[in-house]
Chains A and B, each alone.
Chain A
Amino acid sequence: MQELHYSRPTTVADAVVALARPDARVLAGGTDLIVQVRENRRQVAHVIDLKRIPELNAITRQADGGWRIGAAASVGRLGRDAAFAAEHHALLDSARLIGSLQIQNRASLGGNVCNAAPSADAVPLLICLGARGVVAGPGGRRTLPIVEIATGPGRSSLAAAEILVAIVVPAQTGRWAAKYLRFTPRREMDIAIAGVGVWLQLDQQSAITGAAITLASVAPTPLVAAAAQTLLVGERLSPKLIAAAAQSAADEARPISDTRGSADYRRQLVAVLTRRALEACAGELGIHGT
């Protein structure tokens, strides 16, 4: 019989201590972890449930207009925060691609980030929005950009005894819009063959002052399409510009071929989804004819 110890600390400090044990693993919604343990893909001896720690469940708007999302807060709860939903509907839409309503009532953004799957659907827009992670460990607290957390499939840059406490989404200024699109052969309960998150910021003359594009499922980690971003900044949206950015993103993708899709097909999807996401942002920003 395989033994499993379960604890439910109520403070971050206690959680960090508990996590110092060998084969310890934190649990938020468990929608990744429990599946991995059941399928023998992860050996776990101590499960440390984070859902009783108040700080990890809080969803708060900060004085500067940014949002601090407790790492274990469920996607379901996030969606029920009307102010958050109004401001960050694109991010919320991406998180609502996760599983089904039942899954979303357990699954957290922190889990989506720390599980470090290249296909994680909520991560591309967190990266595009410039979100940072607040991490606590035996040595105290630090923050780092979300983009620096995943280092490979299932591997993160967090130290063994570190936990993600919160995700901070900075205040968004000016005219901006974001959109995440993924492609799955099945309409739900499926994993992205490719995904593209896009964020655009315009000045009053509709010149692009900021652009972010992050790709899912086409590299070992979520991938920032830096060249495509550079192409956009300083320009005005046009079909030609959008096509060029889409092509650049496809060129920057580093997909593999596997049972879910060939590299070739994934590249084509990146181009299509990038174009469509940019068009959706343009539409939301009132720029037509793209």
Chain B
Amino acid sequence: MTSIREISEPSLQVVGRRIPRVDAGERVTGRAIYCADLMRPGMITGHIKRSPHAHARILAIDTSKAAALKGVLAVVTAQDFPVVAPGTIIPFGETGADAWVSALTVIARDRVLWRGHAVAAVAATDPYIAAKAVDLIEVSYEVLPALMDIETATAPDAAVMFPEHKPKGFDAANPAPRNVGGRTLIERGDTAAALATAAVIAEVHTITDTAHQGYIEPQACVAEAEATGFVTIWASTQGAFQAEIQTAVLLGLPQSQLKVIPLETGGAFGGKITVHVEPIAARLAQKCGRPVKIVTSREETFAGGSGPAAAARIAMKIAADATGKLTAIDGRYVLDSGGIPGTPTTLLMQASAAPYQCANLRLDGWEIVTNKPRTEAYRGPGGIQAAFALEQAMDEIALKLDLDPLELRRRNAAVTGSMMPIGTPFPTIAFTAIADRIAAHPCWREPLAAGHLPRGRGLAFGYWRGTSMTSAAHVTIAGDGRPMVTMGAVDISGTRTAMAQVAAEEFGLGVADVHVAMGDTKSVGYSDAAAGSRVGRTMAAAVSYACKDALDQLRARAAQRLQCPLSELAYAGGVFRAGAATISLFDLMRATLTEGAIVGRGVSTKLPLGVETAAHVCDVEVDPETGQVTILRYTAFQDVGRALNPPAVEGQIEGSVSQGIGWALTEGFDYAADGRLRNASMLDYRMPTALDLPTINCVLIETPVPDVPYGVRGVAEVPIVPVAACVGNAIRRAIGVRMTHMPMTPERIVMALRAAATEPVPARA
């Protein structure tokens, strides 16, 4: 995959250089340890009993036959866990989280909310006995009507899933329809008036099917309980501390009695922040006194054992004057939260309006509960759905005004200091710089060559806010003078490599001279999860602070050794120097190791926001008879602040685009009316293969974030945002039909073409 990097920073020695991942060898040789690989003495297997109904009341659970089976050492149901009431807010992310959601996600208590919802679990001496025991658990249900989509769930006579839930955004005068989880309204200016006087209006109504993050490694963990009551969990998680607090609350255990050790993560993409198996394995381990491993199957992961990404319906109406200047953005967003209310809508709403300056906004976001698995985050959660609506509407404006789509976007692009949808000014934002790069790039300048089949070129912008929160790291200095970094965040994306670069840069050493490890929740300071494009940037800051702190401590010792005032001491490349006298880190530590440890402390909290911006260009070819789309060329432009390790950044972009193309063209859950997932396999849930994907060209633009060490920006979420819209716009240009249902499968394209052929020809092409 090719890449062009536009700017380099000559003063940096290690940061910004192309470094192979420090863990590459063990990953590709299979030596890296994932939860499924872990063996503990006396370890047994846990297995989960799941609901065969999408919506039902649990009348009784009889576990006696399972418990009596030889080899079964423990059985649990919701009765083995404390009741966690709604509103049990735990410190978590930017706003805290309701532990009631985690509790209900992990195991059903009085009713099941989706097919595959856990109702009980066993631990047995081998997997066959465990599977048999699960079959012996008898659950009697009173089956309730399954609400499988937004229409059914909000119908006036729909069964109400959470009668006790009071959705936000409604009052007595304005009561909520059935099964609404909540509503958020963002308004500015007078959208109705702007629409009434607009020169041109584009309206696009999109549907996005539920999709899965598609991580290779399913949910998995090992739990072990000591006689003292102390519990250790080896987890596949995005956040060890987040797994710890959820599990502690769900078990009713003090956090100090629980340690979470993050192992290698085989993909997560937002789906491994909420716990699914950890509290169950821990309770089973506590009950039988043996370590318990749970590894879910692919089918379990797809069908109820994990949280996929939210389906959405968006009605997007945008207005412009005759020059293409946007005058109104009017969006109505309905997210399908799955079985538990609480899916945030605001990030999606912001992503659908933020790229452009527009005086009049009306963004109206709803979330609805249905009997599907509770949805969780997926890479810039809501961003791809938002852009699929906004950016196709922008393309319609360009078509109606016969304007170049890049020029239209450039005229309206948000700039540093212009207003965010939520009313605060944007920090440095690079859409204009990105537009300039596109205009000069062959992927836009070169005309698209005609082919045997219809071809089209698409463009879409993408925005993602990202987040900062808090990250902690500490560095000690080994007896040989080498810095040893321990970080509080999980490495799901090459973080160890990037942090090794940061530490090496700070100490003036090579990457091979520093060591970076992931800590566990009892060996390192609290850090938020690897999510929201935050870890690289905030951990780089923490590591940088920790290294500076350690260097200050070392400097004092070196000055004493060299008998010079601190002000005369210089440091470079692992050597302290005062005039002609020098001492290396190695010699300094040899001489002073027993005088006390050097411990450098680094904590970064609420760093300035580094918004993520991107624009993608692609060429497609469409076979109108079969509906097959071939992506001929794909170029992703992105402001990355500063690429700590360019291949890692390109990997994030390539991975995002691959996932985006999958969702754009073939990935979507197909639920039957009774709640059964009809495509719960890698065969029928069609993630793209290498043959389905083009070469993904990356153009990295570096606009450092002010007041952030190294100016690092989040890079890992925005590259999925524009993908489906970019492909959709290219398809529209190829075949003249606007595809509004994602995934845009071959069959949907064929049917849309058929429908268009029987429609009266519109006045304007």
Given contacts A2-B128, A185-B746, A265-B750, whether A259 and B689 have CB atoms under 8 Å apart is no
| B684 pairs with A260, CB closer than 8 A | yes
Q: Which residue of B lies closest to A265 (CB)?
A: B747
Mask: chain B, 749-762; 1 = CB below 8 Å from A; 0 = not: 01100000000000
- Interface residue? A189 (CB, 8 A): yes
Mask: chain B, 666-680; 1 = CB below 8 Å from A; 0 = not: 100010000000110
Q: Which residue of B lies closest to A262 (CB)?
A: B747
Given contacts A2-B128, A185-B746, A187-B691, whether A259 and B683 have CB atoms under 8 Å apart is no
Q: How far is the CA of A187 from the CA of B665 in the complex (A)?
A: 12
- Interface residue? A84 (CB, 8 A): no
User: Looking at the complex, which one of A188, A259, A269 makes contact with B684 (CB distance below 8 Å)?
Assistant: A259
Q: How many interface residues does A have (CB within 8 Å)?
A: 19
| B628 pairs with A185, CB closer than 8 A | yes
* B residues apposed to A, CB below 8 Å: 126, 128-129, 625-626, 628, 665-666, 670, 678-679, 683-684, 686, 688-689, 691-692, 745-747, 750-751
Other than the given A259-B678, A265-B747, 12 more pairs (CB < 8 A) read A1-B126, A1-B128, A185-B666, A185-B747, A186-B692, A187-B691, A187-B692, A190-B683, A261-B747, A265-B751, A268-B750, A269-B626
- Interface residue? A64 (CB, 8 A): no
- Contacting residues, chain A, for B666 (C-beta < 8 A): 185-186
| B688 pairs with A186, CB closer than 8 A | yes
Q: Which residue of B lies closest to A2 (CB)?
A: B128
- Contacting residues, chain A, for B684 (C-beta < 8 A): 259-260
A-B contact pairs, 6 of them (CB 8 A): A183-B628, A185-B666, A185-B745, A185-B746, A186-B692, A188-B691
| Chain A stretch 189-215: residues in CB contact (< 8 A) with chain B | 189-191
Say how far B732's CB is from chain A's closest CB, in angstroms. 20
- Contacting residues, chain A, for B126 (C-beta < 8 A): 1
Q: How far is the CA of A191 from the CA of B628 in the complex (A)?
A: 15
- Contacting residues, chain B, for A272 (C-beta < 8 A): 625-626
- Contacting residues, chain B, for A2 (C-beta < 8 A): 128
Q: How far is the CA of A40 from the CA of B746 in the complex (A)?
A: 32
- Contacting residues, chain B, for A265 (C-beta < 8 A): 747, 750-751
Say how far A153's CB is from chain B's closest CB, in angstroms. 15
Given contacts A259-B678, A268-B750, whether A185 and B128 have CB atoms under 8 Å apart is no
- Contacting residues, chain B, for A259 (C-beta < 8 A): 670, 678-679, 684
Q: How far is the CA of A187 from the CA of B689 in the complex (A)?
A: 7
| Chain A stretch 59-73: residues in CB contact (< 8 A) with chain B | none
- Please list the 6 inter-chain residue pairs (A to B) with the smallest Cβ-Cβ separation, ordered nearest first: A187-B691, A259-B678, A272-B625, A265-B747, A259-B670, A259-B679
| A189 pairs with B750, CB closer than 8 A | no
Q: How far is the CA of A183 from the CA of B745 in the complex (A)?
A: 13
Given contacts A187-B691, A187-B692, A265-B750, whether A258 and B686 have CB atoms under 8 Å apart is no
Say how far A263's CB is from chain B's closest CB, in angstroms. 11
| B691 pairs with A185, CB closer than 8 A | no
| A183 pairs with B626, CB closer than 8 A | yes
| B628 pairs with A188, CB closer than 8 A | no
| Chain A stretch 1-46: residues in CB contact (< 8 A) with chain B | 1-2
Q: How far is the CA of A188 from the CA of B128 in the complex (A)?
A: 33
- Contacting residues, chain A, for B128 (C-beta < 8 A): 1-2
Q: How far is the CA of A261 from the CA of B625 in the complex (A)?
A: 15
Q: Which residue of A lies closest to B683 (CB)?
A: A191
- Contacting residues, chain B, for A186 (C-beta < 8 A): 666, 686, 688-689, 691-692
Say how far A27's CB is from chain B's closest CB, in angstroms. 21
Q: How far is the CA of A262 from the CA of B754 in the complex (A)?
A: 14
Say how far B621's CB is from chain A's closest CB, in angstroms. 13
Q: How far is the CA of A211 from the CA of B679 in the complex (A)?
A: 37
Given contacts A265-B747, A265-B751, A272-B626, whether A185 and B689 have CB atoms under 8 Å apart is no
Q: How far is the CA of A158 from the CA of B613 in the complex (A)?
A: 62
Q: How far is the CA of A191 from the CA of B681 in the complex (A)?
A: 12
Main secondary structure of the interface of A (DSSP, over half): loop
Most chain A CB atoms below 10 A, which of B678, B679, B688, B747: B747
Mask: chain A, 125-155; 1 = CB below 8 Å from B; 0 = not: 0000000000000000000000000000000
Q: How far is the CA of A191 from the CA of B684 in the complex (A)?
A: 9
Q: Which residue of A lies closest to B751 (CB)?
A: A265
Say how far A124's CB is from chain B's closest CB, in angstroms. 18
Q: How far is the CA of A281 from the CA of B267 in the complex (A)?
A: 46
Q: How far is the CA of A190 from the CA of B665 in the complex (A)?
A: 15
- Contacting residues, chain A, for B751 (C-beta < 8 A): 265
- Contacting residues, chain A, for B747 (C-beta < 8 A): 185, 261-262, 265
Say how far A232's CB is from chain B's closest CB, in angstroms. 21
- Contacting residues, chain A, for B686 (C-beta < 8 A): 185-186, 190
Q: How far is the CA of A265 from the CA of B627 in the complex (A)?
A: 10
Q: Which residue of B lies closest to A271 (CB)?
A: B625
Q: How far is the CA of A259 from the CA of B683 in the complex (A)?
A: 11
Q: How far is the CA of A252 from the CA of B9 in the complex (A)?
A: 67
- Contacting residues, chain A, for B750 (C-beta < 8 A): 265, 268
Say how far A216's CB is from chain B's closest CB, in angstroms. 15
Say how far A193's CB is from chain B's closest CB, in angstroms. 8
Say how far B501's CB is from chain A's closest CB, in angstroms. 37
Say how far B493's CB is from chain A's closest CB, in angstroms. 26
| A258 pairs with B688, CB closer than 8 A | no
Most chain A CB atoms below 10 A, which of B626, B678, B686: B626
| B625 pairs with A189, CB closer than 8 A | no
Q: How far is the CA of A265 from the CA of B14 in the complex (A)?
A: 56
Most chain A CB atoms below 10 A, which of B126, B683, B745: B683
Say how far B676's CB is from chain A's closest CB, in angstroms. 10
Say how far A141's CB is from chain B's closest CB, in angstroms. 36
- Contacting residues, chain A, for B628 (C-beta < 8 A): 183, 185
- Contacting residues, chain A, for B683 (C-beta < 8 A): 189-191
- Contacting residues, chain A, for B745 (C-beta < 8 A): 185
| A258 pairs with B689, CB closer than 8 A | no
Say how far B630's CB is from chain A's closest CB, in angstroms. 9
- Contacting residues, chain A, for B129 (C-beta < 8 A): 1
- Contacting residues, chain A, for B688 (C-beta < 8 A): 186
Say how far B476's CB is from chain A's closest CB, in angstroms. 47
Q: How far is the CA of A255 from the CA of B128 in the complex (A)?
A: 38
Q: How far is the CA of A189 from the CA of B688 in the complex (A)?
A: 10
Mask: chain A, 155-197; 1 = CB below 8 Å from B; 0 = not: 0000000000000000000000000000101111111000000
- Contacting residues, chain A, for B689 (C-beta < 8 A): 186-189
- Contacting residues, chain A, for B678 (C-beta < 8 A): 258-259
Most chain B CB atoms below 10 A, which of A1, A258, A261, A265: A265
Say how far A267's CB is from chain B's closest CB, in angstroms. 11
- Contacting residues, chain B, for A262 (C-beta < 8 A): 747
Q: How far is the CA of A188 from the CA of B750 in the complex (A)?
A: 21
Q: How far is the CA of A1 from the CA of B125 in the complex (A)?
A: 11
| Chain A stretch 202-240: residues in CB contact (< 8 A) with chain B | none
Q: How far is the CA of A273 from the CA of B1 in the complex (A)?
A: 34
Q: How far is the CA of A189 from the CA of B685 in the complex (A)?
A: 11
Say how far B612's CB is from chain A's closest CB, in angstroms. 30
Q: How far is the CA of A269 from the CA of B626 in the complex (A)?
A: 6
Say how far A45's CB is from chain B's closest CB, in angstroms. 15
Q: How far is the CA of A114 from the CA of B468 in the complex (A)?
A: 58
- Contacting residues, chain B, for A187 (C-beta < 8 A): 689, 691-692
- Contacting residues, chain B, for A1 (C-beta < 8 A): 126, 128-129
Say how far B737's CB is from chain A's closest CB, in angstroms. 16
Q: How far is the CA of A272 from the CA of B128 in the complex (A)?
A: 48
- Contacting residues, chain A, for B679 (C-beta < 8 A): 259
Q: How far is the CA of A265 from the CA of B745 in the complex (A)?
A: 12
- Contacting residues, chain B, for A183 (C-beta < 8 A): 626, 628, 746
Q: How far is the CA of A183 from the CA of B627 in the complex (A)?
A: 10
- Contacting residues, chain A, for B692 (C-beta < 8 A): 186-187
Q: Which residue of A lies closest to B685 (CB)?
A: A259
Q: How far is the CA of A2 from the CA of B692 in the complex (A)?
A: 39
- Contacting residues, chain A, for B625 (C-beta < 8 A): 268, 272
Most chain A CB atoms below 10 A, which of B128, B665, B678, B750: B750
Q: Which residue of B lies closest to A187 (CB)?
A: B691
Q: How far is the CA of A258 from the CA of B688 in the complex (A)?
A: 20
- Contacting residues, chain B, for A191 (C-beta < 8 A): 683
